[in-house]
A and B are shown apart, each in its own frame.
Chain A
Amino acid sequence: DQQVKQNSPSLSVQEGRISILNCDYTNSMFDYFLWYKKYPAEGPTFLISISSIKDKNEDGRFTVFLNKSAKHLSLHIVPSQPGDSAVYFCAASARGQGGSEKLVFGKGTKLTVNP
């Protein structure tokens, strides 16, 4: 049973336009959500996060929105750039033993930004 779902395996957008990546989760215990970006042959790199006490977090061109009632979050990239082309993973966590967090990942969405 997948607790974090990214239903779109791929997304293609034009440079300068908005990219919207979506993520749904099922576990109501999740209280922290993250987006990671992954280039080929590299490990995932942290992009942006949001706590369950917020509904929006913005960092430059990247904004994450959280809708707790719908158990849905989305990542907006505006404007999209060719260098944003990568696989984006949504991840969620619930506080575990000792205060550390177990991350549960979605399957990822491959974003292609066309020049």
Chain B
Amino acid sequence: EAGVVQSPRYKIIEKKQPVAFWCNPISGHNTLYWYRQNLGQGPELLIRYENEEAVDDSQLPKDRFSAERLKGVDSTLKIQPAELGDSAVYLCASSSRRTEAFFGQGTRLTVV
């Protein structure tokens, strides 16, 4: 069974540029999460989807971050414009009802 797939693995951009991350969850998983992990910290939730509905986006900086999950499967997370403080690892995870979340390998973003 394929796991959670994220791309790209690494991204280096200049500040003020846009960037997008893509996630393909495990087949059949209704719940999809985007987390951000800063160096030395645990993952912090940015947004959680149930199918195509964003049920928790309270931690998403909505002035520059946006996300979508078309058709309740794949998801993209966008930052526009990026700031230096956005440098982090962006993790996508998926789960089914009452099971653990499975994580992708993450996208390491460096904003210079």
Chain B interfacial residues counted at CB < 8 A: 27
Q: List A contacts of B91 (CB < 8 A).
A: 43-44
A96 near B56 with CB under 8 A, answer: yes
- In angstroms, Cα B104 to Cα A105, docked, is 16
Q: List B contacts of A105 (CB < 8 A).
A: 35, 42-44
* Minimal beta-carbon separation of B95 from chain A (angstroms): 7
Q: Give the total number of A-B pairs whose CB atoms are below 8 A apart.
A: 68
- In angstroms, Cα B31 to Cα A32, docked, is 17
B48 contacts chain A at the CB level, 8 A cutoff: yes
Contact digits for B92-112, partner A, Cβ 8 Å, 1 yes 0 no:
010101101111111000000
* Minimal beta-carbon separation of B103 from chain A (angstroms): 4
Chain B: which residue is nearest A41 at the CB level? B105
A101 near B4 with CB under 8 A, answer: no
Q: Kindly list 12 other residue pairs between chains A and B, CB separation below 8 angstroms, not including A102-B45, A102-B48, A106-B42.
A: A6-B42, A43-B91, A46-B102, A89-B43, A100-B30, A100-B48, A100-B50, A100-B97, A103-B43, A103-B101, A104-B45, A105-B42
Q: List A contacts of B97 (CB < 8 A).
A: 99-100
* Minimal beta-carbon separation of B54 from chain A (angstroms): 11
Contact digits for A95-114, partner B, Cβ 8 Å, 1 yes 0 no:
01111111111111000000
- The answer to whether residues A101 and B103 also contact, given A43-B4, A44-B43 and a CB cut-off of 8 A, is no
Q: List A contacts of B103 (CB < 8 A).
A: 36, 43-45
A34 contacts chain B at the CB level, 8 A cutoff: yes
* Minimal beta-carbon separation of B33 from chain A (angstroms): 7
* Minimal beta-carbon separation of A19 from chain B (angstroms): 19
- The answer to whether residues A101 and B95 also contact, given A43-B4, A46-B100 and a CB cut-off of 8 A, is yes
Q: Which B residues between 24 and 76 are near A, CB-CB below 8 angstroms?
A: 30-31, 33, 35, 40-45, 48, 50, 55-56
A99 near B106 with CB under 8 A, answer: no
A42 contacts chain B at the CB level, 8 A cutoff: yes
